[in-house]
């Protein structure tokens, strides 16, 4: 058996029975935040379960790829794998999040420029097509590969060993360190990341909710704003002279109706 270091978890601890149990619990709790996000959406814009599955499954595939890549990279050296995993995870949550946002924006621009409708994130056709979902999964996975490659190159910069000793060197219990590294910290950070990334790759329903009036596309909000401007516009008020004439005419008619009629009998 590999010698256990004085501080930190030993080699292979991430893939041990306790480590795998923590990873399964992490996956269950982290993806529950996406379900909570769906119920937090307004009812008029809430995604059907099938669309929600298509959106969130892309994140699931990307997160699994990043997770197992971090586990693999953490066991490459003889140093504390828990500290290495935590460093990888922190970089993924900071610099990696910026790279994911940039990758989604660049890919979305290219797809819209080339007019590949089914490759637009969140658009699956009507009815939803599995082929569109597969294509978007491949694009998102390529973004994850790009992100992890950049993070791995950043880890080649010398000086991370000192940070590794600072992060978890004060925890004497290896199992407690494993719980912090594989469950507590990833759950908090993943919940935030999943929420943000889901907002990036989901369909923007507010932009799609349009009305076609006389060949023009108009949002309900713009239509309501236009109606309020028309109602409050002074140009639409009745002319004072015309209203006075109408009122005087009505008064004259009422007076004629009120005058008594006399009948002369001879």
Q: What is the tens place of the pLDDT at every residue in 209-241?
A: 433 333 444 444 454 455 445 445 544 444 455
Structure tokens at 135: 């294509």
Q: Which of 31-35, 75-79, 107-111, 181-185 has the lowest mean pLDDT?
A: 75-79
Under the banding of pLDDT at 50, 70 and 90, the label for residue 206 is very low
Q: Where are the domains of the chain?
A: 13-210
What's the pLDDT at 170?
A: 72
Do the Cβ atoms of 51 and 215 come closer than 8 Å? Answer: no
Task: Write the secondary structure of 114-147 as one string of H (helix), E (strand) and C (coil).
Answer: HCCHHHCCCCCCCCCCHHHHHHHHHHHHHHHHHH
Under the banding of pLDDT at 50, 70 and 90, the label for residue 187 is confident
| End-to-end Cα separation, the chain, in angstroms | 137
Helix (H, G, I), strand (E, B) or coil at 4: coil
What's the pLDDT at 252?
A: 56
What's the pLDDT at 65?
A: 92
* 18-57 pLDDT tens trace: 888 888 898 888 888 888 888 888 888 888 888 889 888 8
More confident residue, 234 or 105: 105
Can you list the positions of beta strands (E) in the chain? 211-213, 216-218
Separation of alpha carbons 43 and 53, rounded Å = 17
Task: Count the Cβ atoms, other than its own, within 10 Å of residue 245.
Answer: 11
**Residue 250 CB contacts under 8 Å (≥ 6 apart), including other chains:** none
- pLDDT, the chain, mean: 75
What's the pLDDT at 2?
A: 45
Structure tokens at 142: 């390529």
- Give mean pLDDT, residues 136-160: 90
Query: Would the pLDDT of 1 be above 50?
Result: no
Nearest CA among 197, 194, 200 for reference residue 36: 194
- Give mean pLDDT, residues 128-144: 92
3-state helix, strand, coil in the chain (%, to 5): 70, 0, 25
């Amino acid at each position: 058996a590999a010698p256990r270091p004085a501080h930190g978890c030993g080699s292979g601890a991430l893939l041990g029975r306790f480590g795998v149990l923590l990873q399964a619990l992490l996956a269950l709790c982290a993806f529950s935040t996406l379900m909570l996000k769906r119920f937090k959406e307004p009812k008029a814009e809430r995604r059907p379960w099938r669309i929600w599955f298509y959106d969130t499954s892309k994140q699931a595939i990307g997160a699994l790829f990043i997770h197992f890549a971090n586990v693999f990279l953490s066991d490459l050296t003889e140093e504390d794998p828990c500290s290495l995993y935590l460093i990888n995870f922190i970089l993924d949550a900071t610099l990696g999040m910026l790279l994911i946002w940039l990758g989604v924006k660049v890919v979305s621009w290219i797809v819209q420029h080339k007019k590949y409708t089914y490759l637009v994130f969140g658009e699956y056709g009507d009815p939803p097509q599995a082929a569109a979902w597969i294509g978007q999964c491949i694009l998102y996975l390529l973004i994850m590969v790009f992100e992890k490659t950049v993070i791995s190159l950043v880890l080649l910069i010398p000086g991370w060993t000192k940070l590794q000793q600072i992060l978890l060197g004060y925890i004497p219990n290896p199992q407690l360190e494993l719980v912090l590294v594989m469950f507590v910290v990833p759950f908090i950070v993943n919940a935030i990341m999943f929420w943000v990334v889901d907002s990036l790759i989901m369909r923007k329903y507010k932009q799609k909710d349009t009305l076609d009036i006389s060949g023009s596309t108009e949002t309900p909000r713009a239509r309501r704003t236009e109606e309020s401007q028309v109602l409050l516009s002074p140009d639409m008020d009745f002319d004072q002279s015309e209203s006075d004439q109408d009122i005087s005419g009505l008064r004259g008619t009422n007076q004629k109706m009120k005058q008594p009629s006399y009948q002369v009998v001879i």
